Structure formats: structure tokens, C-alpha cells
Amino acid sequence: MLQINYLRQHTAIVKDGLAKKNFPNLALVDELLSADEAIRKQKITTETQQASLNSASKEIGLLMAKGDKDAAEQKRAEVAGWKDDLAANKLALQKLEEDFTAMLLQLPNLPHSSVPNGKTPEDNEVVREGGTIPELMPAAKPHWELIKDYDLIDFETGAKIAGSGFPLYKGKGAKLQRSLIQYFLDYNTEAGYTEYMPPLMVNETTAYGTGQLPDKEGQMYHITADGFYLIPTAEVPVTNIYANEIVKDDALPVKMTAYTPCFRREAGSFGSDVRGLNRVHQFDKVEIIQLVHPAKSYEVLEEMVNHIERLLQFLELPYRILRLCGGDMSFTSALTYDFEVYSAAQKKWLEVSSVSNFENYQTNRMKIRYKESDGKTQLLHSLNGSSLALPRIVAALLENNQQEEFISLPKVLHSYFGATMLEG
């Protein structure tokens, strides 16, 4: 969440930023500022009262120690009357603070200056493209047909076991998943990321920390009996590893990677883009996450973009990198690059990775800090990116590499998969 000090000092910048993100309720900023004012006033009243109560209590203690019972008794009688008033003030303060926090949580992160103006995906800016779009044979098929032909995934049985959108990977289809996960993790750890295997369920506090709560409950599966949420991405448990910590200098930058299944309800999504692997409720993803010094976060963002770009090059997939416009960015992000690969049989671009700098929006919620050389504690910046989400990568690999009798695989996967191609 945003920091109130920043709102106080840079009100105009905040409003401009919110406008760029198409935030509709700019008046909220002024409401917040006056609520903040009211809190501080109330605090002074309440704490002054508390201070006199505290010092009176101390006096009573001293009188008792001296054995002056009468004086202590007299003081106690005097002080007892203060309590109701103080309690009322405390309650009022608490209410003010709760309302304030609820409002502050409604404000999204501010966009970086390089974020393009715009409202819809059409306004995103193509930063660069790479790879070559293959010329497919006339009889080329979309991946959901190839999946059937080569018996890689059984969607029907997955639906029988759980529901639609829960793929049942099978045989070489399952092995391909495992090979990709293994390759991605190796690629990340070689670049200095530490591998984690986190819990796949998180509690409410953790979901709140990365910004899934409040507000996005509907997108996560909720285990109501125990109060857990199934993770929608490894970002949630892994970023929270450092929640409420002051990270030591020599631990920076923190570079973490994790493979996890991701669970998404995708409530309300419909239409043609849900076919095959394009949109599912459970999918595999390898994530990279960094916690870095604020001065370095944009440099690190570029480094992460390059890291993922190389991965797509190794996979020999045609890709493009987009800088998302203000209206298409996520609530918590300050700058996001999306990676899309071209799925040659569907003839469309599929999002396979999203790399974002959250600056201190997440770390402010989680209180992930470091100590400045002058001894002051400051918030770190958090970043993350998918490297990569599997389903659409698989879709593109299958479609783009299909031949009459087989589907070839990129060289990097040969040793992991134990073969150079998929055969029917």
C-alpha cells in the first residue's frame, strides 16, 4: 500500500499517477489526507490522557512502596474517574484508524513515469520482438487437437475427477511438464536464484501481504474449514518469506525462485480464449522473485526481463515484450512487462510471463525492510516475474513445432525430456 507521508508531501503527483492508472475516485486522496489529520489530532488527545494516567499510576506505586497507604488510596480514587473518557477516546482513535486503513487499501500502486497512457490492452507498447514466426503446413492444428493426437493431456478425465479446467497430464505430456519445470529451475538457479518449495496454501495474513486480499478473494480457492487460500502464484508464499523482517545488508539482493502449481478460479472468464491450455484452473509455473535496494529496482527489473527473454530464446519461441499501459496494469504494480509468445496455429499471442516492479507497495504491507547506512530502516522494493508459466508455453511449443509425423522440441529440452521430439 502507499505511504501516507508520500501522499502528504506529493499530493499532486499521487493524483496524476492514479489518473494514469484510470483510478476513478481521485477524491479519495483528499478524504485520506483529512482522515490522517483527524487521526493525528485524536492521537494527541488520547496519548496525553494516557500519559497522565501512566504517571499517576507510577506515583501510586511509589506511594505504596513508601508505605503511604492513605495518599495512594486518595490518588487512586482520583484517577479512577479518568478511565471512561480515555476508553472512549481510544475507541474513537481505533475507529478512525480502521476507516483510514480501509481507504488507503483502495489506492493502487502508482505507475512509473515510463508507463504509457492508455486504458486497454491495445494501448500497451511493444518494446521489442524476437524469434521467428514459423510457416506451418496447411493442415496445421491447434494445440488442443495435437494434445489428443499425441495423447498428452486428458481434459475429459480431469473434468471427471475435479472439474473443467483441471488438466490430467499423461505419459509424455506429464514428462514434458516435468522437463520444462526442471529446465526452468536449473536456468534460474544458475543465475543465482535460490530455489524454494513453499506451502501451496496460505493464511489470510499472507494473502493480504502480496495484495491478493482484500478485494480479490473471488479469484482464489478458499478452504473455509481451516481459513486457507490455495495460492494463485508462488509470488504469494515466497515473497512473504521475508514478511516483518529487516533484511541484513549482506543478504541483498534476495533472489528466489520456486516451482508451484497455481490455482485460479477465473470466475467470470468465458469466450473462445478458454480452449485447451489457454485458460485453466490449475497450472504449473516457475516464478522468480527479488527483494532489492530501492535505488536498484529498475535496473533489476531490466535484468529480470533479459533473463526471461533469453529463456524464450532458448526455447526457440517467437515472442514479444510489452510495456503495459496504466489501465492494463495490476493493482499493485508500478511497471509491468508482459511476455507473449506467438501461437502459430491459433494465430495469436499468448501471455506467458509478467514481470513487475512493485516498488515498496507490497513491502509496505509486509514490512520488509533494510537498514540504511545512517541506521534508518527503509522499505525494500519487491519484484517478480514468471519464468515461466507452462500451459501456454506448451501450447506454443506444440503448435509451432508440429510436422506431419511428429513434433520437434527445442535443443535445450532434449536432455531433460530424453528425446528430441514427440512421436505419435
Tell the residue number behind the cell numbers 508440429, with chain if given: 402
Query: Between residues 56 and 185, which has the closer beta carbon with respect to RNA?
Result: 56
- Among 12, 24, 34, 65, which residue interacts with RNA (rule: CB under 7 A)? 65
Min separation Cβ 422 and RNA, Å: 31
Min separation Cβ 3 and RNA, Å: 8
- Cβ within 8 Å of residue 24, ≥6 positions away: none
Residue 51 near RNA by CB under 7 A: yes
Tell the residue number behind the cell numbers 501510586, with chain if given: 60
- Among 50, 182, 330, 408, which residue interacts with RNA (rule: CB under 7 A)? 50
Site string for RNA, 240-259 (x = CB under 7 A): ------x-------------
Pairing between β-strand 201-202 and β-strand 228-230 as defined by DSSP bridges: antiparallel
- Among 40, 95, 347, 348, which residue interacts with RNA (rule: CB under 7 A)? 40
Q: Among residues 217, 206, 29, which one has the least CA distance to residue 110?
A: 29
Min separation Cβ 93 and RNA, Å: 10
Residue 377 near RNA by CB under 7 A: yes
Residue 43 near RNA by CB under 7 A: yes
C-alpha torsion sign, points 346, 349, 353, 358:
negative
Residue 323 one-letter amino acid: R
DSSP helix/strand/coil, 169: strand
Residue 62 near RNA by CB under 7 A: yes
Query: Between residues 58 and 128, which has the closer beta carbon with respect to RNA?
Result: 58
Piece of the chain touching RNA by CB under 7 A; list 59-67, 136-144, 332-340, 386-394: 59-67
Strand spans (E) along 119-276: 125-130, 194-196, 201-202, 222-223, 228-230, 246-247, 254-263
Among residue numbers 80 through 99, which ones bind RNA (CB under 7 A)? 80, 83
8 A C-beta contact, residue 256 and residue 238: yes
Min separation Cβ 65 and RNA, Å: 6
- Among 371, 372, 415, 421, which residue interacts with RNA (rule: CB under 7 A)? 371
First to last CA, the chain: 52
Report the C-alpha gap between 29 and 350 in whole angstroms. 37
Lookup: cell for 98: 480502521
Query: Between residues 87 and 133, which has the closer beta carbon with respect to RNA?
Result: 87
Residue 10 near RNA by CB under 7 A: no
8 A C-beta contact, residue 366 and residue 238: no
Lookup: cell for 242: 521475508
Site string for RNA, 197-236 (x = CB under 7 A): ----------------------------------------
Residues in the site for RNA, rule: CB under 7 A? 40, 43-44, 47-48, 50-51, 53-58, 60-62, 64-65, 72, 76, 79-80, 83, 246, 369, 371, 377
